[in-house]
């Protein structure tokens, strides 16, 4: 170890402590524009870069586990993460990117085989509120967004965000006009709703009504092409996940949902049609179709069969063809029931 730090007299913990002092200074003297602050600022940026190179390595060396652990431990021993997040808007672009990468990396660092970042965040959940609010500020949205996505790798943190009022805000964020920010928000939204299976299943079961009402009306029926396309893909991912089977059964038993899906099938966008089919097939395959579902399918039987007959995807896909054959079979079978 001694040899390793010969060229760098400061230990990783030293760098963290120095960074923290500088952050406190910058935070307190936010308005002064004197040269001293400028100097401190430059020093801070340099320190953040050094933190990054300890965690990620640099062109000369790979990261060293022991150094990373030291850094992580010192970082979370005090409020460095809070200071860094709060001061981020004051940093220049390069330092913001470095800080984001540092925070992202720290979420995965284990100290004595514990993710201490998770413990810290659980005790400081208001930081997540701060990160989420970043979507309202174009300047910092991409940095806070990237940090947020790393933080919700921790299941307990994802649960906190899912169950917070913030979930409703995502329906706005993912339709922001700025593509970079909107797509970052929708990546986070997707991560929240797909990453931690049991937590997601629990969330959807408990919040079924408002969530799918919003999802249907604001996302699947959005006038915005990209919103619809991303939403229908996410819906398929959610409903086709085994852990969400209870939610799926509930979803495919609703006439309103079926109508939305059938409208999406009629879209001129092939991408949307295909994703819609993957959800539509669940309605058709449901062995306990409610009467209202059966009746819609029967009423539109000819049209549906004609549609499915012509419905092809560009590349060969056996699974798709098999699914389609199954759906056709189910819909054809409905006729017999009806006439008998």
Partner 1 sequence: MYPLDAKCYRLLYEVGSGVSAVVYKAVCLPPMDSSVVAIKSIDLERSRANLDDVRREAKAMALLSHPNVLRAHCSFTVDRHLWVVMPFMAAGSLQSIISSSFPDGLPESSIAVVLREILHALSYLHGQGHIHRDIKAGNILVDSDGSVKLADFGVSASIYESHPSSSVSLYMSSSSSSFFNDMAGTPYWMAPEVIHSHMGYGIKADIWSFGITALELAHGRPPLSHLPLSKSLMMKITNRLRLEEHGRDSTGGGNCKNKKKFSKAFKDMVAACLCRDPSKRPSADKLLRHPFFKNCKSTDYFVKNVLQAVPVVEERCKEPRVADCNGNDRDGSTSPLVKSRRVSGWNFNEDVFELDPVYPVESDDKCVRFGGEEPIDQPTAHPHSHVVDDDKSGNEADEKENHRRHHNHSRAEEKEVAKKAGEAPLSVLKQTLVPNLVSLLSSLDLQRGMVMDVLSHCGCKDGQQESLREQQLWGYVRSMQQTVDDLKLQLLREMKVNAELQERLGPLNRKMNEETGGHTGS
Instruction: Specify the residue for token string 């059964």.
Output: 249
For partner 1, which residue of 1, 31, 177, 336 counts as binding (CB under 8 A)? Answer: 177
Instruction: Specify the residue for token string 């609703």.
Output: 254
Residues within window 115-134 making contact with partner 1, judged by CB under 8 A: none
Residue 183 CB, nearest approach to partner 1 (Å): 4
For partner 1, which residue of 114, 270, 309, 329 counts as binding (CB under 8 A)? Answer: 270
The stretch among 129-137, 164-172, 184-192, 277-285 that binds partner 1 (CB under 8 A) is 184-192
For partner 1, which residue of 30, 178, 332, 338 counts as binding (CB under 8 A)? Answer: 178
94 near partner 1 (CB under 8 A): yes
Structure tokens given for 5:
């730090």
61 near partner 1 (CB under 8 A): no
The stretch among 24-32, 151-159, 163-171, 181-189 that binds partner 1 (CB under 8 A) is 181-189
Residue 56 CB, nearest approach to partner 1 (Å): 5
187 near partner 1 (CB under 8 A): yes
105 near partner 1 (CB under 8 A): yes
Nearest Cα to 107, choosing from 96, 88, 93, 120?
120
In the chain, where does DSSP find H-type helix? 12-28, 35-56, 65-77, 80-87, 93-106, 116-123, 126-133, 141-151, 155-163, 166-173, 179-194, 197-206, 208-214, 225-239, 245-251, 255-265, 270-285, 291-299, 301-310, 318-339
Q: Which is nearer to partner 1, 195 or 335 (CB)?
A: 195
Long-range contacts of 242-246 (CB under 8 A, 24+ apart): 243/197, 243/198, 243/200, 243/201, 244/197, 244/200, 244/201, 244/204, 246/201, 246/205
Residue 305 CB, nearest approach to partner 1 (Å): 26
What end-to-end distance do the CA atoms of the chain give, in Å?
A: 83
271 near partner 1 (CB under 8 A): yes
179 near partner 1 (CB under 8 A): yes
Q: Beta partners for 115?
A: 110
Residues 83, 88, 91, CA angle at the centre, nearest 5°? 120
Structure tokens given for 312:
């092809």
Print the binding letters for residues 208-247 with partner 1: x by CB under 8 A, - otherwise.
----------------xxx--xx-----------------
Binding interface with partner 1 (CB under 8 A): 56, 59, 93-94, 97, 101, 104-105, 142, 177-180, 183-184, 186-187, 224-226, 229-230, 269-271
């Amino acid at each position: 170890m001694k040899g390793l730090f010969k060229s760098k007299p400061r230990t990783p913990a030293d760098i963290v402590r120095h960074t923290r002092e500088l952050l406190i200074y910058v935070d307190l003297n936010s308005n002064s524009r004197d040269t001293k602050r400028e100097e401190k600022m430059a020093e801070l940026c340099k320190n953040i870069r050094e933190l990054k190179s300890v965690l990620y390595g640099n062109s000369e060396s790979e990261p060293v586990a022991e150094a990373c652990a030291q850094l992580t431990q010192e970082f979370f021993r005090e409020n460095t993460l809070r200071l860094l997040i709060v001061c981020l808007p004051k940093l220049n672009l390069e330092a913001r990117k470095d800080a984001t990468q540092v925070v992202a990396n720290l979420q995965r660092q284990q100290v004595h085989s514990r993710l201490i970042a998770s413990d810290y965040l659980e005790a400081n959940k208001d930081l997540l509120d701060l990160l989420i609010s970043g979507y309202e500020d174009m300047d910092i949205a991409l940095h806070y967004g990237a940090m947020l996505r790393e933080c919700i790798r921790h299941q307990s943190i994802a649960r906190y965000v899912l169950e917070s009022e913030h979930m409703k805000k995502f329906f706005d964020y993912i339709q922001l006009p700025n593509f970079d920010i909107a797509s970052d928000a929708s990546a986070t939204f997707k991560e929240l709703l797909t990453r931690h299976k049991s937590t997601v299943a629990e969330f959807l079961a408990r919040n079924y009504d408002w969530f799918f009402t919003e999802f249907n009306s604001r996302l699947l029926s959005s006038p915005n092409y990209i919103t619809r396309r991303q939403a229908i893909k996410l819906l398929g991912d959610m409903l086709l996940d085994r852990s969400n089977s209870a939610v799926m059964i509930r979803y495919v038993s609703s006439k309103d949902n079926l109508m939305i899906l059938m409208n999406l099938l009629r879209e001129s966008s092939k991408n949307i049609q295909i994703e819609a089919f993957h959800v539509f097939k669940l309605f058709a395959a449901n062995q306990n179709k409610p009467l209202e579902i059966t009746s819609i399918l029967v009423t539109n039987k000819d049209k549906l069969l004609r549609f499915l007959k012509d419905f092809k995807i560009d590349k060969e896909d056996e699974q798709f063809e098999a699914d389609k054959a199954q759906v056709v079979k189910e819909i054809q079978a409905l006729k017999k029931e009806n006439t008998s």
